[in-house]
Amino acid sequence: MPQKLIDQSSLGHWVAALIAEHKVYGVQAKADRFAFDALTEADDLRLDHDVTILPPKKYFHPPQEILLQFDREAMTFESVFHAEPFILLGVHPYDMAAISQLDKVFSMDHRDRHYLARREAATIVVCDVQTASPEVFAGCMGHATMEGQSGHDMLLTLLDDGRYLVDPVSAKGEALMGPLAHAPEADQAALQARKRVWDRNRRQLQKNKLKMKPSELPGLLAGSYDHPVWEERAELCYSCGSCNLVCPTCYCFDLRDELNWDLRTGRRLREWDGCMLRGFAAVAGGHNFRARRADRYRHRYFRKGKYTWEAYGEIACVGCGRCISACTANIANPVEVFNRLLEER
């Protein structure tokens, strides 16, 4: 599909036209942070954001959703779907990598129709990172750019001359082009300029430096089950679950039924859960498989660096750095933990 070159004002007109015709969510400034939200003005879109508070997974796997409505007396239930078509603007490559992991997880074994319906309804426009966040290490995890990655529909890259290279990579992406289809085609010089942006981002998105390849993590963790780091750091942990909730690759959830006042009809809810919360591994009979904070703390790292690798061939950390800044106790930095395990193995 032809790649195009556009200036900033054409980008603004294009975004305004998208808003006029579609449901669009995009990155916007919220006080001194950034967040994905419904976009109603093209000028509100910020593609220079460093990182959003919550990852875009919230549009596919929402914090709370109704899965079905039921009637206990009539013994009936009806699935509830919210899958209106929408456009997601400004997703960073590391968050796209996380969405691709969720695509795998939610289509393995038991296909999750709710997640997959929303995924199908989405058109995702990725934007190469323009501002590195203070904690990012996507460059160490192989997710600084979209090179070799897929799942998105269009890629926008701000070149050093101030123009955007627009790269539609799917039929959905091509359908979004509209007036951009008449823009000048990107020449070899523009493609080289994009490659320079990618090379720079691979270097710059390493504010924390992992001293090993991500593929070495499963082996490192296998020999670190009894390392003192788990007990030491867990001493400071509040079990607040923030590191889970902001993570783009965390997908655990809880299910509960909520009855109406008639005690007959109700709904089944799915809500985010997190392995750092005390009740996460509690089961009937009062037993808790990870009642100790140190066990929960260790589990999170094993889950990220070993268990998901064994289950579906992915390291469940894309290096966004959100858990680092979300942790009030300042103990959630995966790079600090993994580097220490490496140095003391």
Query: In angstroms, what is the minimal distance from the CB of 240 to ligand SF4?
Result: 4
SS3 165: strand
Place of tokens 């007959």: 264
The answer to the question of residue 281 lying near ligand SF4 (CB under 6 A) is no
Residues 102, 121: Cα–Cα separation, whole Å: 15
Size of the site for ligand SF4 (CB under 6 A): 26
Q: Is 45 a binder of ligand SF4 (CB under 6 A)?
A: no
Least separation, in Å, of the C-beta of 235 and ligand SF4? 11
Contact present, 275 and 254 (Cβ < 8 Å): no
- Binding ligand SF4 by CB under 6 A: which of 320, 325, 337, 341? 320
Nearest to 33 by CA among 325, 340, 341: 325
Which residue among 229, 275, 332, 341 contacts ligand SF4 (CB under 6 A)?
A: 332
The string of DSSP codes covering 138-182 is: HHHHT-SS-TT--S-SEEEEE-TTSPEEEEE-SHHHHHH-GGGGG
Does residue 47 interact with ligand SF4 by CB under 6 A? Answer: no
What phi, psi does 323 have (nearest 5°)?
-65, -30
Contact with ligand SF4 (CB under 6 A) among 54, 220, 240, 281? 240
Q: What is the largest CA-CA distance in the chain?
A: 69
Stretch of residues binding ligand SF4 (CB under 6 A), selected from 6-14, 166-174, 260-268, 329-337: 329-337
Q: Among residues 10, 69, 149, 239, which is the contact residue for ligand SF4, using CB under 6 A?
A: 239
Least distance between ligand SF4 and beta carbon 50 (Å): 13
With CB under 6 A as the contact rule, which of the stretches 13-21, 165-173, 199-207, 314-322 interacts with ligand SF4? Answer: 314-322
Q: Which is nearer to ligand SF4, 268 or 278 (CB)?
A: 278
**Secondary element (H or E) of residue 124:** strand 122-127
100 binds ligand SF4 (CB under 6 A): no
Residue from 56, 168, 214, 241 binding ligand SF4 (CB under 6 A): 241
- 121 forms beta bridges with none
Token representation of residue 235 = 């001493």
Q: SS3 for 167?
A: strand
Q: Which residue, 46 or 322, has its beta carbon nearer to ligand SF4?
A: 322
Q: Does 126 bind ligand SF4 (CB under 6 A)?
A: no
How many C-beta atoms surround the C-beta of residue 31 within 10 A?
6
Which DSSP state fits 149?
Answer: -
Q: How far is the CB of 315 from ligand SF4 (least distance, A)?
A: 9
Encoded tokens for 269: 């809810």
Q: Which helix (H) or strand (E) holds 89?
A: strand 86-91
| Of the candidates 69, 67, 95, 93, the residue with the CA atom closest to the CA atom of residue 81 | 67
Q: According to CB under 6 A, which one of 52, 230, 334, 337 is a site residue for ligand SF4?
A: 334
Distance CA 153, CA 170 (A): 5
Residues with Cβ within 8 Å of 213's Cβ and at least 6 positions away in sequence, in order, are: none
* Cβ proximity to ligand SF4, 59 vs 251, nearer residue: 251
Does residue 249 interact with ligand SF4 by CB under 6 A? Answer: yes
Decide if residue 237 touches ligand SF4 (CB under 6 A). yes
Interface with ligand SF4, residue 214, by CB under 6 A: no
Residues lying near ligand SF4 in the complex (CB under 6 A): 237-243, 246-249, 276, 304, 317-323, 326-327, 329, 331-332, 334
